[in-house]
Amino acid sequence: MNKFMILVLIVLSLITFQKKHTDWKALVPLVTTRTQLEAQFGTPTSVNGNIFVYETPDEKLHVWYGGGKFLGANVCCWKVSNEILFKFELVPKRVLPLAEMNIDLTAFQKQKAPEMVNDYYYYNDNEGITITTRIVERAEVLFSVERGPTSAQREKSCSKKNC
C-alpha cells in the first residue's frame, strides 16, 4: 500500500468518531457492492435515485451507485451496475481544522473554488480523491472528502460510445 493511501485511511479514520468501528478502506469505487456497504453501515437514511445517504452522529456519507453521465465538455457514460459503488462523499458534522488533520497534501493540486469565496479543492486524480476545505474564522477546515474512480479507471472504463 502506498504512503498516500495510508494517509487517506488515517484522514478518514480521524474524522470517524462513531461508536461502531468504520472501515473506510473497504469503500472502493467500482468494486464495493451495495450489499457490502449496507452490511457495514445499515440501511440508508434517505434515497434519491442512485444516491443513498447514510448518517451517523458525526458525519454524513453520500454514496452514488451505478454509473451515470458526467455533464460538461467531457460527457462520459459508465457501464456500472446499480449495485456497485460509483463514488462517495464524506461530510463531517463538526469543524475539523485541516492543520490538525496531519494530511500530506503534496500529492494534491490545490485550486480555489470558483463558485465559492472561501472554499478550496485539493485534487489527486491518480487516486480519485478530492478534499474540499473552507476558510472559517481564518482557519482552513475540512468540508468533505470525495472518492470516485481513479484516473486509470476512468481511462479504462469510461466509454463515450452508446451513451
Q: pLDDT 10s per residue in the chain (163 long)?
A: 565 554 444 455 444 433 343 455 568 899 999 999 888 888 999 999 889 999 888 889 999 998 655 545 555 667 788 899 999 998 888 888 988 777 789 999 999 998 888 999 999 999 899 999 999 988 999 999 899 988 888 777 665 554 5
The predicted pLDDT at position 7 comes to 47
pTM: 0.75
Cα 77 to chain centroid, rounded:
19
The predicted pLDDT at position 124 comes to 92
Closest of 98, 92, 105 to residue 7, by C-alpha: 105
The predicted pLDDT at position 6 comes to 46
Domain boundaries, the chain: 3-159
Name the β-bridge partners of 111: 121
The predicted pLDDT at position 141 comes to 94
Closest of 118, 123, 145, 162 to residue 9, by C-alpha: 145
